[in-house]
């Protein structure tokens, strides 16, 4: 069976779905999105901590996130957005000086970031009552906050479907046909058609509860699928996030993205142990100098920590209570006496799509006449989704970026380290 798409988006995560909606909103028709896991069981955007911020150190990341935050604020109720702020704690004088320097760039973008002395941290955030003498300062960004990632992606998809976008669930790209054409710039390649396989089941786990090969290699036994679909394409966009290298390999494009596991857990805090005058529910995201980050999540506290020596790979195993006891609880307890007694509830693991400079990849793919990409935002997909969707839709439809210039994020930058968009302010 074959179909035709004006624009085929490979990957229905938060960025791919945002792009589909933004293209449809511009009047582009014939848009199709294919994804193996539209339920989001393994989608990075569904497994993150729910933070949303524009306080970055690179202008392209600041601007795309700022635009997204404004969108979240305009739809706060349906998206579950709360501008409760981000507090960053520093114990390195060098890093804090750099943060103060970057504060000027951030505030020129209208973010209103504050610099706090250690005494101000203790006064404004009484939950933080331990080892403050080891800190050198903090920054607080009041326009940042928390959002419901599931609601964000669902909203994009609902609006996209309302405008005629077709979503193909449980489908993955099995092959890509390219052809040589002669254009104004000389000989180049174009994607002519994409072969897609539909899985028989929507469950991406095998009988043993292990992630299927289809998620990690896109190879699957012949008996595990029910149909094949060839989609002829005018334009193709790779929005596969951590899985982008699998698609890139099919068309001979080197992809430097690496999937890296990140673990998060829910913590049960004994409310009778919470210090008097401390209201955990009013906290925003707190990023400790140790690398721990946490915020209230319903009756619990959500906490995460990125293990520095985590090996790349498609690993969704959660280390359970051992992770909580070795990485989370000690860091919570050393900063706040209210967390002296707390318990592990549950947790999960998701993937960051990590690039060499920890910034995303977006734009046209050199050497192709109709291939684009928007992926590998290193944990920032939700935060940049609206800004990137708008910018990429304009670029695909008109050949130029409009509201946000994503030109610094093209993959061509990796050929010259001086052009890298190195982002240090990530967790």
Give residue-wise pLDDT tens across range 258-292: 999 999 999 998 766 665 666 778 899 999 999 99
* DSSP assignment string, 277-296: T--GGG--EEE-TTS-EEEE
Pick the closest to residue 379 from 423, 415, 417 (CA basis).
423
Average of per-residue pLDDT across 123-145: 96
Q: How far apart are the first and last CA of the chain?
A: 45
Are the CB atoms for 146 and 295 separated by under 8 Å?
yes
| Cα gap 402→393, rounded to integer Å | 9
| Cα gap 92→102, rounded to integer Å | 15
pLDDT at residue 223, as a whole number: 46
Are the CB atoms for 377 and 357 separated by under 8 Å?
no
Q: What is the pLDDT of residues 369-416, one digit of tens each?
A: 999 999 999 999 999 999 999 999 999 999 999 999 999 999 999 999
Cα-to-chain-centroid distance, residue 107: 23
| Cα gap 315→318, rounded to integer Å | 9
Domains observed in the chain: 2-47+150-256+357-419 (3.50.50.60), 86-142 (3.30.9.10), 258-354 (3.30.9.10)
Q: Three-state SS for 120?
A: helix
Q: Which residue has the higher pLDDT, 63 or 199?
A: 63
pLDDT of 206 over the 70 cut: no
pTM (2 d.p.): 0.94
The C-alpha angle with vertex 173 and arms to 167 and 178, in degrees rounded to 5, equals 115
pLDDT at residue 286, as a whole number: 97
The C-alpha angle with vertex 17 and arms to 11 and 23, in degrees rounded to 5, equals 115
DSSP code at position 34: E
Cα-to-chain-centroid distance, residue 373: 15
Are the CB atoms for 189 and 180 separated by under 8 Å?
yes
Q: What is the pLDDT of residues 2-43, one digit of tens each?
A: 689 999 999 999 999 999 999 999 999 999 999 988 888 888
Q: What is the pLDDT of residues 217-265, one digit of tens each?
A: 665 554 456 678 899 999 999 999 999 999 999 999 999 999 999 999 9
pLDDT of 176 over the 80 cut: yes
Pick the closest to residue 90 from 71, 117, 65 (CA basis).
117
Are the CB atoms for 176 and 191 separated by under 8 Å?
yes
The residue to which tokens 């005494």 are assigned: 119
Q: Which residue has the higher pLDDT, 142 or 224?
A: 142
Show the 3-state SS of 173-219.
EEEEEEEEEEECCEEEEEEEEEEEEEECCCCCECCCCCECHHHHCCC
Contacts of 79 (CB under 8 A, 6+ apart): 72, 147, 148, 151, 152, 155
Are the CB atoms for 103 and 113 separated by under 8 Å?
yes
Task: Based on DSSP, count helices (H) and strands (E) in the chain, helices before strands.
Answer: 11, 18
């Amino acid at each position: 069976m074959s179909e035709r798409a004006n624009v085929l988006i490979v990957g229905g995560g938060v960025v791919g779905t945002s792009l589909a909606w933004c293209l449809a909103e511009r009047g582009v028709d014939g848009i199709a999105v294919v994804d193996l896991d539209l339920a989001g069981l393994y989608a990075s955007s569904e497994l993150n901590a729910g933070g949303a911020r524009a306080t970055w150190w690179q202008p392209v990341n600041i601007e795309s996130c700022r635009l997204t935050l404004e969108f979240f604020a305009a739809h706060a109720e349906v998206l579950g957005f709360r501008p409760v702020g981000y507090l960053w704690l520093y114990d390195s004088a060098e890093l804090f000086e750099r943060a103060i320097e970057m504060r000027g760039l951030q505030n020129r973008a209208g973010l209103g970031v504050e610099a706090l002395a250690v005494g101000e941290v203790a006064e404004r955030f009484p939950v933080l009552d331990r080892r403050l003498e080891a800190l050198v300062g903090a920054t607080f960004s009041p326009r940042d906050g928390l959002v419901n990632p599931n609601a964000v992606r669902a909203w994009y998809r609902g609006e996209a479907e309302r405008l005629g976008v077709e979503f193909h669930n449980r489908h993955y790209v099995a092959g890509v046909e390219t052809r040589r054409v002669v254009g104004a710039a000389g000989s180049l390649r174009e994607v002519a058609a994409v072969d897609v396989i539909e899985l028989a089941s929507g469950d991406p786990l095998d009988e043993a509860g292990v992630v299927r090969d289809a998620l990690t290699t896109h190879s699957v036994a012949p008996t595990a699928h029910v149909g094949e679909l060839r989609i002829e394409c005018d334009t193709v966009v790779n929005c596969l996030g951590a899985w982008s290298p699998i698609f890139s390999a099919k068309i001979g494009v080197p992809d430097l993205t690496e999937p890296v596991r990140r673990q998060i857990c829910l913590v049960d805090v004994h409310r009778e142990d919470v210090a008097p005058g401390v209201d955990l529910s009013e906290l925003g995201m707190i990023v400790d100098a140790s690398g721990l980050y946490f915020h209230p999540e319903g009756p619990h506290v959500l906490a995460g920590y990125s293990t520095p020596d985590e090996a790349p790979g498609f690993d969704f195993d959660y280390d359970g209570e051992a992770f909580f006891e070795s990485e989370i609880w000690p860091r919570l307890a050393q900063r706040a006496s209210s967390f002296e007694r707390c318990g592990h509830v549950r947790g999960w693991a998701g993937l960051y799509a990590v690039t060499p400079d920890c910034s995303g990849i977006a734009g046209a793919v050199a050497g192709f006449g109709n291939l684009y990409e928007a992926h590998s935002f290193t944990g920032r997909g939700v935060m940049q989704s609206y800004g990137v969707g708008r910018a990429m839709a304009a670029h695909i439809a008109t050949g130029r970026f409009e509201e946000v210039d994503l030109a610094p994020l093209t993959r061509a930058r990796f050929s010259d380290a001086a052009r890298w968009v190195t982002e240090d302010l990530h967790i």
